[in-house]
A and B are shown apart, each in its own frame.
Chain A
Amino acid sequence: MGSVEEDTTTSSLLALEALLKRGQYTRSGQISLLTLDIVEKYVQSNCWKTAGDLITWLQDTAETLRKAAASETASGNLILRLIKIVRDDFTNRHRSRNPGLMSQNSVDSEQGLDFNLEIPELRSDVQNTIYELQSELELSAENIAEEADKHIHSNEVVLTMGKSKTVEAFLKRAAKKAVFEVIVAECAPASNGHELAHSLASSKIQTTLIADTAIFAMMSRVNKVIIGTHSVLANGGLKAIAGIHLVALAAKYYNVPVIVLVPMYKLSPEYPLSTDINKTTNRFVSPDQLLDYSDGDVYSKVCAYNPVFDYVPPNLISLFIFNIGSLAPSYIYRLLHETYPQIKR
């Protein structure tokens, strides 16, 4: 029985790995849900007995997925968070069984624990947290959107770039109460800003679509910049779609506040290694979008980088809105501390 379940888990893990490797996904939310499904399957199976087993499996899985796509952190973040939860659940259960055995300090208490102790209740505990996480994932965009009224007021001009589901929901929610104007930068070469502009305009929000080159010129008229991001790094900087750095710099010049909308699974415990071309976290794709391959012999002399992401330093960002509340970049360290286990992978 166990082996069949193990097979299905392994095969769906392989499928997710393949998906990540080949970049055949559109949103990191989708990746997170798929990851959670796999973990759920594993947790329900008989493949593990103790918290130690489970944590080892989770660590291995995180490593596998990280190798599959170094630039995609969502599933790794989620698994790390789960490890933290498993540890906490285990500690709580253990403490309630043996009251008085442990000191009161919860951080120190983990030190002496033997995770290979079998606690039958752990399975249902972890199961429940997975359900909680699932609903959190599904509702994160909505939860963030609830903050909209506090940030967008009537007659304001908001600038955004590209297309983010979270930003879309946020703006649409704000439009229920306030009348404001949105400027959308198209975000070439993907140009998915077009889709957002279309969607906003059809919800009767006054929308202007601009070329990326016009961002600086338009910035003087803008009251707020609201953007989504690919992930938030441990120092409070962003790894966001290429072009966002430009927006953030223009906003800084005009002292326009930059608000970043982030679901929790995008919070990454990684630090940027290098500011210009960080080989582990950026992704360099085919220059096909920028140049014409059929052009010919030029390419013997010319190489073109086409990075997918920009690194935006934390000093350019005013506020993060998470689904669990708002934070300034300088407080990211606290959130990391609460969310992820202390011991490095």
Chain B
Amino acid sequence: MAYALQQLINGVTLGMIYGLIAVGYTMVYGIIGMINFAHGDVFMVGSFLSLIALLGLSAFGITSVPLALALTLLFAAGIAALYGWTIERVAYRPLRGSFRLAPLISAIGMSITLQNFVQVSQGARVKPVDAIIPGGIRLMDRGGFAVQLSWMQIAIVVITLTILGIFTWLVTKTPLGRTMRACEQDLKMASLLGIDTDRTISLTFVIGAALAAVAGFMFLLYYGVIDFYIGFIAGIKAFTAAVLGGIGSLPGAVLGGLLIGLIEVFWSAYFSIEYKDVAAFSILIIVLIFMPNGILGRAEVEKV
């Protein structure tokens, strides 16, 4: 029981991270109908940017934890947003209206480029960092097993929920959100009605990348170690989350992220840690085959 509770806590924390990445996939898919394969690597870049910011801040002697967290978050999200904007501009925008698989292939190229760019520039070795917020609460102690809720986990959940709250407000209550939803409904119509669709699509990438960078920062905090390869696997899991939740649906992405996080943690805890990625991949396949519309997605009717 205690063990399961601990897994639940860990699963929710991990699920938050996946959810944040999944939002980026689902937004882009909702608007231009492409799988932004490089999104996982933007998450990885965000993670590295956070690491660089943390190292830079400590070099300048900034030791206040809240200040360091806030500055790192701003820096990572800001620069990652620039990455998102550039990627869309360079690799996807010229391909709008090209043959169907062109954007996907370009995205794969972009993913490879980002991975190897970081490998070449920052080195292939794993990067360990010390825990920034050590300690935690001991929730219960039963049968020699202590259930821990670390401050870090609390920080991750709180930051994620705050960011998601801001994001939800942005999408539902602002003119920007309205244009985004209009583009999602019907891109061509939105453009006929005078919405600058290019700008909206750019903004989607910018927001998605910023969220991915937040997730990257959380990942760095949670695991304390990153390398250039984390984006690939985390990206696929987050994509699975987006599909599971119903691609195109924002609450679905967060829900899917939580589910994938929980499944992964429980699978590792009770079955086999070696095959935890197989679990995620299998879910992806099963979901796509048996419920391609996901939990909260809309059904697609084939037009002939």
Partners in one complex: no
